[in-house]
Chains A and B, each alone.
Chain A
Amino acid sequence: MIPELESFNLPILSLVTLTPAFGALLLALIDSNSKALIRQVALMVSFLGLLFSLIMVGNFDSSVGVMQLEENHSWIESLGISYHLGVDGFSILLILLTSFTMPFVFMSTWKAVDHRVKEFHIALLLLQTGMIGAFVALDLVLFYLFYEAMLVPMYLIIGIWGGKDRVYAALKFFIYTMVGSLFMFLAILYLYNHAGTFDLPLLLERLKTTHPLDGIQQFWLFLAFALSFAIKVPLFPLHTWLPDAHVQAPTAGSVVLAGVLLKMGTYGLLRFAIPLFPDAAMDLREEFCWLAVTGIIFGACMALVQTDIKKLIAYSSVSHLGFVVLACFMTDVESLTGAILQMVNHGLSTGMLFLMIGIIYERRHTRELADYGGLASVVPVYSVFFIIAVLSSIGLPGLNGFVGEFLILFGVFRADPLWGMLAATGVVLGALYMLKMVKAFLFGPVVHEVNKEVKDLNMREIIYLSPFVVLMVWLGLYPSSFTNLVEPTLSLYVQLLQN
């Protein structure tokens, strides 16, 4: 059974967040030649993280929408920076997604990464702490620290373990994101100057009552936050770092990037940018929605003409996250629930797709579609898993992707039928590029002799792919076990926005 936290007084959020970082410390002590030990320890640590986040969910009261399991300690008192953590409906599924993804990411790298193993695992564990930390932080400076802390390990993962043009891609990723966060940092400091606190709940309170912002201030501050998050999403036209980063990143990097990191952008919009500056957000709503709709269609069109599988999926992320951004600017529970589900769904389906492309890359060392074809007859089990991931990605009803898409499109259509209709074309386009890819990748005759020797999935691979399939079906057929966690928070949020 789930331990009752009150009796232990366990700082569960700290445990979820910091366990990977401690694991990284532990790894630092291990001799870098004992690769097997390093891999095992990293895996154990990540499973421990998953266990802690399951305990967190068990102690989460889904009947109320307020911030829960809070930990608040003053940290740098002179500057008013506190160590303030909390979890609510916005973050709980994303934390779960992160701790769920990581163990399987570790399992996937056993063969793929063989040089600088120790550094690689340390980087991944630090990345995990950064991501979860950003999801639980309720102090703007603390959030910013975690947010930036993700950047460095990701930069290293792409830059050291990446492909041929890894340096260009890593730098592009770093600079793009850095530019965005610079403006956000300025905005955070400005807010402190204005309202005298970095604490998010306190800040929300003060902006509403004692320290209101005028229109121009809101406008610029919102823009600074939104720019940073829009780059992270990435929102059209700020997306060109993503295909490069994905193509060059090693499998683990791509999975984390697509699975979790991109959600930081949409999470940031929902947690910070929109609630802090609601008037500005609503003023700029139209512009952002148009960008999101453009991104949905544009990303899909781009995916259609790619010849590199990783690039294709990178562009599909641009398209899929367009749905989420669109929903972030809605003010009804349906779309917002859809937004959060879609973040999780995209993490699962795209994460799994990248894992699978990593598997085939390990065997054939190419990502060009033209180098494949006819794999279904050589690697049938692989093909089944791949097709399931594709179906989840194109939103087949009964699997996870559909639920989020349906809720989003419904909410958007109700708010504005034109956006709804345009966004919905993404559903057709998604099938178009994905099935085109499947056909070129798996079907047809085996044109290249080398492909006849490709080995099918081994047990380890089946083990780390299967949980993804289980979750896809679970979320597709019984999403209420997840939406229940989210809904109360969203109802509160919507009430706040509408007042």
Chain B
Amino acid sequence: MDSNLLWIPLFPFLGFLINGILGKRMGNRTVSIVASVAPLLAFSVAFGAWRKIVSDTGVSALHWDGFPWIWLDGLLEVPFALHFDGLSAVMCLVITGVGSLIHLYSIGYMKGDPGYHRYFAYLNLFTTFMLLLVLGDNLLLLFIGWEGVGLCSYLLIGFWFQDDANCAAGKKAFIVNRIGDLAFLLGMFLCLIHFGTLDLAALVNADNISQVATETFEGSLFAGMGVITGIALLLFIGATGKSAQIPLYVWLPDAMAGPTPVSALIHAATMVTSGVYLCCRLMPLFQAAPMALSIVAVVGACTALLAAIIAFTQNDIKKVLAYSTVSQLGYMFFAIGVGAFSAAFFHVVTHAFFKALLFLGSGAVIHAMHHEQDMRKMGGLRKQLPFTHITFLIGTFAIAGVPPLAGFFSKDEILFAGYQAGIMEGDTLSRLFWYVSVATAGMTAFYMMRCVAMTFWGDSQVDPKLEGKVHEPGGWIGFALFVLAIASALGGFLNVPEFLGGHAILGHFTGLHVSPTDLTKDELVALHAGEFTSMFISLAIAGAGLLVGFLFYRKGSGLPAAFRNSPPGAFLGKLSENKFYVDEMYAAVIVRPFEAISQLMHTLIDQVLIDKLLVNGSALLVRGLGELFRRMQTGFIPGYLLTFGCGALVLIYILLNSMAKAGAQ
């Protein structure tokens, strides 16, 4: 019982209340202090809690029993209780740590915006929900956070609500997420029916799982399918919404309409990884559903590839990073699908560092360029923005997987897991997906190189009117970039694998690490050989990607144009530029027909069938009687009632009589 835990989400919530209610009167300075102190306080509480569980007292988790929430005695008992273990500790530290930096960064970035206090109130509220999501001790409480972050995402994407496009993007995000949440909800129902609880500890309990694993669905479309598989798949569909996977990823690129620090915090570092967190949290449950895991792997790999292809041709710097995020999230799910939960979670952490860095870097560029986001109108910015350039480059190398930066270690772990599943022991399909994941790694390096080159290198394409005004952002913006650059450079050492002499600290701490047991000496040798092979492949592919990207986009290279002029290049380029027409397809197949059918039903059923024919038709019938009625009435309602009463009595008499006769016979 540790009620201090409550303060972790409560501090940002207080910040939200203060800024939300009083913000307008407080002045921007006070607003920014309140807003950034809140997550910092949360960070320090989380840090203290973390110290408690790593010290040698034998306590591995903290728990706050809370109060009864949805509570029907003996039937359905869901408490509002918090749980703090290794996994949530890491998430809390990342959320409040990176979150605090982004709050600080926003002080500079949002300066002068008329919605200043509103912005920080939303950001604090987001932090609250995100912390609830990772601290909730049951699925339903996690779901409060889950939908709550969705709400904040909606509000922040549409933060500049005067622009219709921003609001449309926010609305799209919320609704697409709701589709996923519907599946999440059904998954919870199955948990309640078969496990009898939503308590996370009970859902990952081995005895419970082995008991439920024997149950299958009956009688319906899904007859014969294991219940656990069903639960895992439904929750995974929920994750595809929040974590932007096929088929529900379409909202994330549009979400870039929000302020850039929001994209960094919500749409890169924290919220979009909650799907991965969910899977890691329920690792034993997913492990008991191998069929679901294969689907997770396929979806992850396909998303990674698709998004990487689209990232090739995007000219909006934030869109490149958005598709890159989708792609990297696909990577994480691929890792989960091949059983490497530890690698997936490791990548969540490192990705939070370097993707936040990249987004904040792009924000610094956009800020300097007075809200220009088109990379074709940039170029050569390394001269005016040397510091941003260096940090952006660190982020790029980290995501590409250059050793010893953060991305190298986590990506390598994922690639090895894929290698193990695909090459060392797998079938054709998993081999294919390993190739996909390797290709994607190369493509990531390539499109990031393109992004760097178009933005920072080569000749300046900057509007001459702007040229002189572009200057390095200082203050908090620079500070945040600096800290995140260090984290992106060193973050990988959190989880150095054993074959490189490390201890996989993060994996052990979060309880996700699965050590191979009972290996013979030969097997161990083979394993290590595999690890080295995979690492070299991943190094080679990252290097190749960077090099090809450099050759393509270095100053004066005609290669991009030449490629686009070749027939296959033109075809692929068009597909990629138009994002494979997925949005258009959804609009044509789902959105527009649905609205048209609704409109049609409204006219046909409500207006014509029910109202015109049935209601008014019978009214006409009654009108004759009504004429009679009208003559009898004296102008006030009791008259109606009296007449009605008499009529009713006559009818009743007739009815009762006939029934009595029927009874007598």
Contacts and interface: CB of A to CB of B under 8 A. Distances in A.
Interface stretch (A10-18, A76-84, A114-122, A148-156): A148-156
Given A148-B641, A413-B189, A432 B656 contact: no
- Range for the number of chain A residues in contact with chain B: 35 or more
Contacts of B660: 193
A372 to B, nearest CB: 13
A431 B178 contact: yes
A175 B656 contact: no
A137 to B, nearest CB: 18
Contact of B598 (A193, A302, A337): A302
Interface stretch (B104-112, B179-187, B255-263, B288-296): B179-187
B237 interface: no
A223 to B, nearest CB: 14
Interface string A474-490: 00011110010001000
Nearest to B596: A305
B182 A428 contact: yes
B601 A301 contact: yes
Interface in B594-647: 594-595, 597-599, 601-602, 605-606, 610-611, 615, 619, 622, 637-638, 641, 644
Contacts of A176: 615
B80 interface: yes
Interface in A147-179: 148, 152, 155-156, 172, 175-176, 178
A304 interface: yes
B175 A435 contact: yes
A176 B158 CA distance: 43
B70 A479 contact: yes
Given A152-B641, A445-B162, A190 B656 contact: yes
A424 B186 contact: yes
Interface stretch (A128-136, A181-189, A269-277): A181-189
Given A237-B610, A302-B598, A376-B161, A480 B71 contact: yes
Contact of A189 (B147, B182, B656): B656
B161 A417 contact: no
Nearest to B220: A417
Interface in A362-384: 374, 376-377
Nearest to B168: A439
A79 B110 CA distance: 76
A193 B662 CA distance: 14
Interface in B180-232: 181-182, 185-186, 188-189, 192-193, 220
Contacts of A186: 648, 651-652, 655
A427 B175 contact: no
A239 B148 CA distance: 33
A443 B615 contact: no
B595 A182 contact: no
A413 B186 contact: yes
Given A190-B656, A435-B171, A439-B171, A428 B70 contact: no
A483 B193 contact: no
B167 A305 contact: no
A478 B161 contact: no
Contacts of B599: 305
B596 to A, nearest CB: 9
A423 to B, nearest CB: 11
B606 A420 contact: no
B73 interface: yes
B182 A396 contact: no
A208 interface: no
A193 B171 CA distance: 58
Contacts of B75: 333-334
A444 interface: yes
B597 A301 contact: yes
Nearest to B71: A480
Interface stretch (A28-36, A278-286, A346-354, A402-410): A402-410
Contacts of A483: 70-72
A372 B25 CA distance: 28
A152 to B, nearest CB: 5
Contacts of A439: 164, 167-168, 171
B332 interface: no
B434 interface: no
B527 interface: no
Interface in B132-159: 140, 143-144, 146-148, 151, 154, 158
A70 B146 CA distance: 45
A417 B227 CA distance: 13
A407 B78 CA distance: 12
A118 B182 CA distance: 49
A424 B190 CA distance: 14
Interface string A417-439: 11011001101100110011001
Nearest to B148: A398
B644 A178 contact: yes
Given A240-B606, A396-B151, A420-B186, A443 B161 contact: yes
Contact of B178 (A414, A428, A487): A428
Contacts of A215: none
Given A427-B182, A435-B174, A301 B644 contact: no
A143 interface: no
Contacts of A477: 69, 80
B505 to A, nearest CB: 35
B195 to A, nearest CB: 13
Contact of B601 (A298, A418, A478): A298
Given A302-B602, A428-B178, A480-B69, 12 more contacts: A182-B644, A193-B656, A240-B610, A302-B601, A304-B598, A305-B595, A397-B148, A398-B147, A424-B182, A444-B163, A444-B167, A487-B73
Closest 8 CB pairs of A and B: A301-B598, A443-B167, A397-B144, A443-B161, A413-B189, A480-B71, A444-B164, A431-B178
25 contacts: A175-B619, A175-B622, A182-B644, A182-B651, A185-B652, A186-B652, A189-B652, A240-B615, A298-B601, A302-B601, A391-B151, A396-B148, A397-B146, A403-B70, A409-B185, A410-B76, A410-B189, A421-B186, A424-B182, A427-B181, A443-B158, A443-B161, A443-B162, A443-B164, A446-B162
